[in-house]
Amino acid sequence: MKSAKATPTPPDKALVLQRSRDHLFPHRIERMASLGVDLVIGRREAYRFWDLDGREYMDFHLNGGTYSLGHRHPQLLEVLRETLEFADIGNHHFPNPARAELAERLAAATGLQYSVFTPSGAEAIDVAIKSARRYTGRRKIVALEQGYHGRSGLSGAAGDDAAAAWFGSDYPAEFIKVAFNDVEAMDLALAGGDVAAVLMETIPATSGFPIPAPGYLPAVKALCERHGTVYVADEVQTGMGRTGKLWGVDCWSLKPDILVTGKCLSGGLYPVSAAVMSREVGAWLAEDGWGYVSSFGGAEPGCAVGCKALELCADPATLAKVESIAAYLGRGLRDIQTRNAFLVEIRQQGLVMGLKFDAPDGGAQMTAALYQHGIWAMFAGFDPSVLQFKPGLLVDTQYCDEALQRFEDALSAITRRSAGS
Ligand SMILES: Cc1ncc(COP(=O)(O)O)c(C=O)c1O
């Protein structure tokens, strides 16, 4: 007789928080507590998750789009389970079928040639920077003041100066920062002909998704071409269908020299990210097979899941759904805006959304209020007046209606509170 599977005892939430305070990240626990947030995620399914204490949340953070296809998407789980029946991560010296297939699929999806797989987005950015340096023989990198590219050495140096300097890993002479949407500043930065790469987040996430001015991104690409500089599109957040196109750069008909993707490529199930590059920029791959090696980059289960995630995101039916759901949510939010002036700006490119509020910490206030009303959404780290609002690609109108109601209730709670104070 088959024995029934024992139900695991739910872990004790207070104990998890205490261990995390003691051994993981005390400051993070404190900062979240200051917002009234003490979340420890237990069960999760599609676009909802449940705290260990049983409270249910709608996920409008999605780990930056990692869960764009939902938590534990059944088809992705099936691929992972099937792969684990016969494979492990594989041996990093050799190709494996899933890695080769994903590289071919990414080449077809980008019009580029080679993929280098890494576990994290930050490492894929490192590879992009190194490839551009190798190709051009130059060292300088130009990035946006408003950009975030991860927290490894080179990717960190390409982001917020203070955060890199905190660990003594800033390189101000080599990593030049310019303002977003400023073509003149970019022109000036590239004019010396000594810049290896321009690193562009297509829509800067951590700054609250300010939308590129019409013509800005193509102008930057044209400057790169004029000055022999490699254009790197960081599509870790804006790729995989979130804008309604497979890649954010497709909205501006822009073909980068290197495209970096991650997060959703993993299906949220097995880490995989990629730097996808042109034949020219990736020429080093034909010269030195060991120029980049990673024990876990391109692991077989991650690549197998990646193939399916890419297939689902690139499906024209998915992209059409993104367009219609984005329009639906946009209408709903604009409607709420007519009743509540605290919401001052709705930034939107498909499901890439930033909501600006009428207070320097308005986005952070909304994070806290939404948490009380059963939505998890994070304010923008570089601009806490903005809330990053990240709906899943496959949500339906019923889910949106419920979320819009919770959103309006949270917003009203804030304005009632400030009217009373
Ligand atoms: C735009 C962007 N690039 C790169 C990264 C780094 O990815 P990872 O956290 O996988 O290292 C992130 C992570 O949030 C990101 O938002």
Neighbours of 292 (CB within 10 A): 18
Q: What does the pLDDT average to over 179-198?
A: 98
d(CA 76, CA 123): 24
Q: What 3-state DSSP class applies to 137?
A: coil
- What integer pLDDT is reported at residue 418 of this predicted model? 84
Distance (angstroms) between ligand 1 centre and the Cα of 405 equals 30
Q: What 3-state DSSP class applies to 178?
A: strand
Cα distances from 258 to residues 120, 124, 297, 306, in angstroms, run 16, 10, 18, 18
pLDDT digits (tens, 9 = 90+) for 24-39: 999 999 999 998 999 9
pLDDT digits (tens, 9 = 90+) for 297-316: 999 999 999 999 999 999 99
pTM reported for the whole predicted model: 0.96
| DSSP assignment string, 311-376 | HHHH-HHHHHHHHHHHHHHHHHHHHHHHH-TTEEEEEEETTEEEEEESSTTHHHHHHHHHHHTTEE
Q: What band does 1 get if pLDDT is binned at 50, 70 and 90? A: very low
d(CA 202, CA 210): 10
CA 36 to chain centre: 25
Distance (angstroms) between ligand 1 centre and the Cα of 74 equals 25
- What integer pLDDT is reported at residue 421 of this predicted model? 63
pLDDT digits (tens, 9 = 90+) for 276-287: 999 999 999 999
Q: What band does 51 get if pLDDT is binned at 50, 70 and 90? A: very high
Q: What does the pLDDT average to over 196-220?
A: 97
Q: Which positions ≥6 away from 113 have C-beta within 8 Å? A: 107, 277, 278, 279, 282
Looking at the predicted structure, is the pLDDT value of residue 2 above 80?
no
At 195, give phi and psi (nearest 5°).
Answer: -105, 125
Diameter of the chain by CA atoms? 76
Distance (angstroms) between ligand 1 centre and the Cα of 148 equals 7
Q: What does the pLDDT average to over 395-414?
A: 98
Sheet bearing 383-389, strands edge to edge: 343-349, 352-357, 383-389, 379-380
Residue whose pair of structure tokens reads 């196109």 in the numeric block: 245
- What integer pLDDT is reported at residue 103 of this predicted model? 98
Sign, Cα dihedral of 255, 260, 263, 265:
positive
Q: What band does 9 get if pLDDT is binned at 50, 70 and 90? A: confident
Which atom number of ligand 1 is nearest to the Cα of residue 273?
10
- What integer pLDDT is reported at residue 6 of this predicted model? 66
User: 196 near 231, Cβ under 8 Å?
Assistant: no
Ligand 1 proximity of 238 Cβ (cutoff 6 Å): no
Distance (angstroms) between ligand 1 centre and the Cα of 66 equals 10
The protein residue whose alpha carbon is closest to atom 2 in ligand 1 is 149
**Two tokens, residue 218:** 């193509």
Q: What 3-state DSSP class applies to 202?
A: coil
Mutate to test the pocket of ligand 1, among 263, 294, 352, 390 (most ligand atoms within 8 A of CB): 263
Mutate to test the pocket of ligand 1, among 127, 234, 236 (most ligand atoms within 8 A of CB): 236
**Two tokens, residue 93:** 């010296």
User: 237 near 65, Cβ under 8 Å?
Assistant: yes
Q: What 3-state DSSP class applies to 245?
A: coil
Query: Could you give the percent of the chain with pLDDT greater than 90?
Result: 95
Alpha-carbon dihedral angle through residues 236, 237, 243, 245, given to the nearest 10 degrees: 10
- What integer pLDDT is reported at residue 417 of this predicted model? 87
Ligand 1 proximity of 120 Cβ (cutoff 6 Å): yes
At 204, give phi and psi (nearest 5°).
Answer: -60, 110
d(CA 180, CA 382): 13
